[in-house]
Structure 1
């Protein structure tokens, strides 16, 4: 997908829906977050209070790489909440292909229903990592594991609440933000203002595109609620946090507040990224998540396997 400009129809539609929600002309969505501390990931259930139609965004499947064991507790908390609130799940949404946790999307879909969606850029990501993991011809690399592939500006509804999809590349080429009423779910673009922004050094990542995507998000109305996919507790903060506003980010984000120049951000982000290690679960996460959260097919002995490509390190 071509990165959009700041002045575009998708952004205008998002602003219109946010204003309608803030003014009471449209329902204001109810958002409930679930934080998975082992992966520092926030999963959100967002719903229309009138129709009780809901979406689940960025779900987590627990995984112990040493034992090769899957855990469903995080996903089961989501299921329990959906059922206790009498919600109907219409969508299971991914903001991007996560490198730090396995997606529980197929497990949730089997229990709750809903259409599984991600950005159309998933095809590019599948091609890149299909080569890395030497996936065979049975892996189509066409996004067919998902029910819907969104483009920038696509729209959907949760009951009476309008939603707009924004393409926000930089962290990966396929990142999306979902603007649902006055709430924007921004995935791995922004962190809390005291922590900054996401890395841009994965294949297809680009710090300059990340800056432009963030400025696009920060051109939404100041009261827009921003829901973040991760938190790592900035120095001096004792609790996890994953909700903020456009105004708070513009005023105080330590990496990209108002007045931060693009070249300044790019230099900072690229230098910082060079100091970062790979996420602990990157190898299993990518293999599973490019398949829509589905595990590799069992081999002839009935066991499923995840691959770890080996490289020769420096002595």
Structure 2
């Protein structure tokens, strides 16, 4: 199935023949989104769905999310949960929009799940942006414990805490697939930054090593890919064996101190994500829109940057 700007690839995991993974690359933010299904029952989850946002016009649209919903309808899936790996700083989550729409498509709406440490992240950024408690408390239906197990139809899944990029970061081990968000990218990208509040390079290294201690053929599905214009194929996953041998930040001949040094050096050169402020204000709300102002306008705050201006 192809839609302009989006491609899906269906993968049937060899050691778990009932697990089907559909991946979708959203090119504006370089984000991977996933539908993971139990083929025998048609029960499924959606991981890290994206809501489209144009910063030039401050306009939210739903093309990407609607495409995922069309795939769900076409395949006859029943979505049990919408899973977030963390509070993203580079795209707005479509979880709440999709929860509402899926509630109209199936017998009951899916729960929105995220790691339990999201509460600390919400409190930090709510103070930073002045978001009222009523707008973020209780917006997630399921706060997942470390190593908590759940089922997608007949398929066992486990929530795996992978801190370092953010403190709340969770991965999801489903069959012989693990969906790791921003904790590990494909080999040419290496690892995500660790300089956000609550991030830590040493912790990120240890999370990476825990992933590389999984069996060789487990597929590590990443949260992002930023291919150059001349790169025709986007790679949503690599095996543990491939990552162990070739990941430019986390391969086995790089030790913790080396990783911390290169990660800190790299992070010092990075600008903040393009949608940092919009994404975090929406994502601590679980993708819900801000409440209207007294004038009836929904507002997001964008900090001013003063280049040594004084008056």
Give secondary structure in 1 for the equivalent of 2:92. coil
Q: Name structure 1 gaps, 5 residues minimum.
A: 1-20
- Deviation string 1:57-107 (CA, Å, 9 cap, x unpaired) is 000000011211111110011000000000000010000000011000111
Give secondary structure in 1 for the equivalent of 2:69. helix
Deviation at 1:259, TM superposition (A): 1.8
Q: Is the 8 A contact 2:18 2:40 kept in 1?
A: no
Q: Summarize the Cα distance change of 1:171–1:235 in structure 2 as closer, same or farther, 3 Å threshold.
A: farther
How far apart, CA to CA, are the structure 1 residues paired with 2:30 and 2:307? 28
How far apart, CA to CA, are the structure 2 residues paired with 1:135 and 1:31? 36
Deviation at 1:34, TM superposition (A): 1.0
Q: Name structure 2 gaps, 5 residues minimum.
A: 1-12, 103-108
The answer to whether 1:56 aligns with 2:46 is: yes
Partner of 1:260: 254
- Deviation string 1:119-160 (CA, Å, 9 cap, x unpaired) is 1111110111011102234345x5x10000011110100111
The answer to whether 1:310 aligns with 2:300 is: no
Which structure has more RCO (C-alpha within 8 Å, separation ≥ 6)?
Answer: 1
Q: Is the 8 A contact 1:145 1:292 kept in 2?
A: yes
How far apart, CA to CA, are the structure 1 residues paired with 2:122 and 2:15? 41
Partner of 1:88: 78
> In the TM superposition, what are the counterparts of 1:117-266 in structure 2 within 5 Å?
117-139=113-135, 142=137, 144-233=138-227, 237-266=231-260
Q: Provide the alpha-carbon RMSD of the alignment.
A: 1.6
Q: Summarize the Cα distance change of 1:84–1:238 in structure 2 as closer, same or farther, 3 Å threshold.
A: closer
How far apart, CA to CA, are the structure 2 residues paired with 1:148 and 1:180? 18
Q: Is the 8 A contact 1:126 1:290 kept in 2?
A: yes
How far apart, CA to CA, are the structure 2 residues paired with 1:68 and 1:120? 30
The answer to whether 1:269 aligns with 2:263 is: yes
How far apart, CA to CA, are the structure 2 residues paired with 1:310 and 1:98? 21
Deviation at 1:165, TM superposition (A): 0.6
TM value normalised by structure 1: 0.89
> In the TM superposition, what are the counterparts of 1:13-92 in structure 2 within 5 Å?
23=15, 27-92=17-82
The answer to whether 1:101 aligns with 2:91 is: yes
TM value normalised by structure 2: 0.90
Partner of 2:283: 289
Deviation at 1:313, TM superposition (A): 3.7
How far apart, CA to CA, are the structure 2 residues paired with 1:58 and 1:77? 14
